[in-house]
C-alpha cells in the first residue's frame, strides 16, 4: 500500500460522472433488493431460500478472489462494461424465472455480477480521489447511491401493484442501458487506470489479517453486511408474511427508513476528516444499530409509524457505520491496491453467507424474529474491533 499523491482539479469531473453513474446503478440494484426474498419464497421454503443465498454468495467469493488478476490483465474499465452486461442479463433472467432452477441460476449470476460491479466502481472512484478528502469523497459517493435506495422501495411496491415481481426486475435491467451509454461517452475520462499492485488473494488476506487497522475495518464491514442481510432478506418477510403489513405500506416505510443515509453520511465523513476521526462515530453507530435490532425482536405491533421510527433508527446506526467504514478503509489503501479492495469487499458476500447460515440454525428451532436477537448479540463484537483500530485523528 502506498500513500496517495494530490490529485488534479480536472479529476473532479471524473468524480461527478461516477457519482451519477453510481446513482443509476444503485437504483437498479435497490429496486429488487427488498422484494427478491418474497419473490423467491414463491418457489421455495424460507430454509431453502437461505441455502440459495449461501450458494450464490459462496460462488461470489470465489469470483472476487480472481478478480484482481482479471483487472490487472484486462483493465478495470473494460471489466466494468463486461460485468455490467452480465448484471443486466441476470436481471432479465430473474424477471423470466418461473421455476426453482431458473431462479437459482439467476440469483447466482445477479449476486456475483452486482458484487463485482461495485468493486469496479470502487476502483474507479478511488482513482480520482486523494487521502485528504477521502471521507468527504466516499460519503458524497455513498450519498448519491443511498438517494437511490430511498426512492427505490416505494417505486418497487408501485411496480408490483402495476404488474408483479417480474416488472421490478425488468425495470432494473433497463436502467443498465444509460450506465453503458455514460461509460461509452465518457471513455476518455473514465479510462484512467492506476498501476495496479496485484497480490495473490492468500497474500492479501494474510497482510490484511496482520494489519490491525485493515483487520478491524474488515470485521466491522462484515458485521454491517450481516445486518444488511438480515434487513434485506428476513425483515421484509417478517413484516409482510408474519405481521401482515401490506407492500403499499412497506414501500413507504422502507423509503423513509433510508433517509439517514442521505442526511448523516456526508456530515459524518467531514467530521471524521477534519476533527475526531472515525472511532467515536463508529461507537455511537453500533450502539444505535444494536438497540434497533433488539426493537426488531421485541416489538410486535403492526402500527405504521412505530415500525417506521424503528426502521429509521436502525439506518441511523448503519449509515454512521458505513460512512466510517468507507472513510477509514480508503485512507489506508489506494486504487493501485486492488487486491486489498477485493479482500475488503469479500465482507459483502461473506456477510450474506453468515446471515443465512444463522437464519437456518435459528429457524430450525425458533420463530423468525429470533434472528434479530442473535444478530444483535453478534454485533456487540463490533465494539472490540473499533477499540483495536488506530484512529486517523
Q: Which domains are delineated in the chain? A: 11-388 (1.20.1250.20)
Q: Tell whether the model's pLDDT for residue 299 goes beyond 90.
A: yes
Residue 197: band (very low, low, confident or very high) from pLDDT cuts 50, 70, 90? low
Q: Tell whether the model's pLDDT for residue 133 goes beyond 70.
A: no
Distances (CA, A) of 98 to 92, 104, 123, 130, 360: 12, 11, 36, 47, 24
CB 356 within 8 A of CB 51: yes
Lowest mean pLDDT among 124-133, 277-286, 336-345, 376-385: 124-133
Question: What percent of the chain stands above pLDDT 90?
Answer: 29
Q: Whole-angstrom Cα distance, residue 260 to residue 312? A: 7
Sequence length of the chain is 393
Closest to 161 measured CA to CA, from 89, 249, 234, 88 = 249
Task: Determine phi and psi for 251, rounding to 5 degrees.
Answer: -60, -45
| pTM of the full structure | 0.75
Q: Whole-angstrom Cα distance, residue 309 to residue 311? A: 5
Q: Is 278 helix (H, G, I), strand (E, B) or coil?
A: coil
Range ranked top by mean pLDDT from 189-193, 261-265, 299-303: 299-303
Q: What is the pLDDT of residues 100-119, one digit of tens each?
A: 888 888 888 999 999 899 98
CB 189 within 8 A of CB 17: yes
Question: What percent of the chain stands above pLDDT 70?
Answer: 91
Q: Whole-angstrom Cα distance, residue 213 to residue 220? A: 11
**Which distant-in-sequence residues (6+ apart) come within 8 Å of 194 by Cβ?**
123, 126, 127, 334, 335, 336, 338
Q: What pLDDT shows up at residue 224?
A: 95
Q: How many CB atoms lie within 10 A of CB 175?
A: 18
Q: Tell whether the model's pLDDT for residue 15 goes beyond 70.
A: yes
Q: Whole-angstrom Cα distance, residue 163 to residue 227? A: 30
Residue found under cell 432478506: 233
CA dihedral 174, 178, 179, 185 (to 10 degrees): 150
CA 139 to chain centre: 14
Distances (CA, A) of 30 to 59, 87, 119, 178, 292: 21, 13, 17, 16, 22
More reliable by pLDDT, 13 or 85: 85
- Which class for 350: exposed (0-12), middle (13-18), buried (19 or more C-beta within 10 A)? buried
Amino acid at each position: 500500500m502506498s500513500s496517495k499523491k494530490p490529485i488534479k482539479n480536472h479529476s473532479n469531473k471524473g468524480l461527478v460522472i461516477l457519482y451519477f453513474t453510481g446513482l443509476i446503478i444503485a437504483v437498479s440494484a435497490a429496486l429488487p433488493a427488498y422484494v427478491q426474498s418474497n419473490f423467491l419464497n414463491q418457489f421455495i421454503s424460507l430454509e431453502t431460500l437461505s441455502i440459495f443465498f449461501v450458494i450464490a454468495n459462496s460462488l461470489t467469493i470465489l469470483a472476487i478472489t480472481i478478480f484482481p488478476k482479471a483487472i490487472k490483465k484486462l483493465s478495470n474499465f473494460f471489466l466494468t462494461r463486461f460485468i455490467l452486461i452480465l448484471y443486466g442479463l441476470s436481471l432479465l433472467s430473474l424477471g423470466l424465472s418461473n421455476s426453482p432452477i431458473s431462479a437459482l441460476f439467476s440469483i447466482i449470476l445477479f449476486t456475483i455480477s452486482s458484487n463485482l460491479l461495485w468493486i469496479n466502481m470502487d476502483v474507479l472512484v478511488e482513482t480520482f480521489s486523494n487521502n485528504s478528502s477521502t471521507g468527504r469523497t466516499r460519503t458524497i459517493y455513498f450519498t448519491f447511491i443511498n438517494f437511490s435506495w430511498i426512492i427505490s422501495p416505494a417505486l418497487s411496491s408501485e411496480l408490483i401493484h402495476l404488474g408483479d415481481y417480474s416488472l421490478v426486475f425488468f425495470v432494473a435491467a433497463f436502467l443498465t442501458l444509460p450506465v453503458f451509454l455514460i461509460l461509452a461517452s465518457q471513455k476518455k475520462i473514465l479510462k484512467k487506470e492506476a498501476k495496479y499492485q496485484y497480490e495473490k488473494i492468500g497474500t492479501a488476506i494474510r497482510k490484511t489479517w496482520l494489519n490491525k487497522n485493515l483487520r478491524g475495518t474488515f470485521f466491522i464491514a462484515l458485521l454491517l453486511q450481516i445486518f444488511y442481510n438480515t434487513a434485506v432478506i428476513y425483515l421484509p418477510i417478517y413484516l409482510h408474511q408474519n405481521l401482515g403489513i401490506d407492500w403499499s405500506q412497506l414501500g413507504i416505510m422502507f423509503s423513509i427508513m433510508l433517509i439517514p443515509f442521505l442526511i448523516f453520511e456526508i456530515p459524518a465523513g467531514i467530521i471524521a476528516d477534519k476533527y475526531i476521526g472515525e472511532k467515536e462515530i463508529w461507537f455511537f453507530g453500533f450502539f444505535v444499530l444494536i438497540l434497533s435490532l433488539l426493537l426488531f425482536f421485541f416489538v410486535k405491533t403492526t402500527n405504521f409509524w412505530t415500525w417506521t421510527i424503528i426502521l429509521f433508527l436502525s439506518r441511523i446506526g448503519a449509515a454512521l457505520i458505513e460512512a466510517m467504514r468507507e472513510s477509514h478503509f480508503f485512507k489506508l489503501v489506494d486504487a493501485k491496491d486492488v487486491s486489498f479492495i477485493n479482500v475488503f469487499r469479500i465482507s459483502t458476500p461473506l456477510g450474506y453467507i453468515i446471515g443465512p447460515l444463522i437464519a437456518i440454525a435459528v429457524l430450525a428451532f425458533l420463530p423468525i424474529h429470533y434472528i434479530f436477537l442473535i444478530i444483535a448479540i453478534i454485533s456487540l463484537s463490533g465494539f472490540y474491533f473499533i477499540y483495536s483500530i488506530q484512529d486517523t485523528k
